[in-house]
Amino acid sequence: MTRQRRVILAELQRSACHPTAAQVYRSVRERIPRISLGTIYRNLDVLSKAGLIQKLELAGIEKRFDGTTENHYHVRWVSCGRVEDVSVNELPPVESTIQGMSDYEIVAYRLEYIGICPECRKRRGSSQRKKPLESGKEESSGTERIED
């Protein structure tokens, strides 16, 4: 594995924020100042195809990357654009149900929760929880802002 890939992989494995390629680029440049954004994209693609990282293609935002490769769940905060891991102990046996209904073999899955983080709820003055998709539409600020 090249030094560039090792550094990118190490950055993703220590990050909890599911960074975008641009965020990975800024972080890696501290260790490899002459690396280009194009090199970051190519290496993220190689690492993803090799199964060493996850490429998160979440609805409505640019791709994020995750150094944790085992199946787990994410929550995407629509107001601030952050993505976080979610610990869920029990879900309905969807995988076995799908496999029982067809000859398909499930090899991986992704589950994305969408919500508004506590900080954004406080900023907008709403401490009251709303039901998801209450109005039939997903809430969005129109722009996705990423914070580290």
Token pair in block for residue 36: 């280009």
Cβ proximity of 67 and 53 under 8 Å: yes
pLDDT tens string 78-116: 777 777 777 766 666 666 677 677 777 767 666 777 888
Could you list the residues known to form a binding site, using ranges.
Answer: 80, 117, 120
* Residue for token pair 């129109």: 142
Q: Is 100 contained in some domain?
A: yes
The answer to whether 23 and 148 are in contact (CB under 8 A) is yes
pLDDT bucket at 76, cuts 50 / 70 / 90: confident
**Tell me, what amino acid is at 31?**
R
Annotated binding-site positions for Zn(2+): 80, 117, 120
The model carries a pTM of: 0.64
- Tens of pLDDT, residue by residue over 138-147, are 333 333 333 3
How many domains, in total, are found in the chain? 1
Residue numbers of the domain that contains 58: 3-123
130 in a structural domain: no
Residue 109, domain CATH: 1.10.10.10
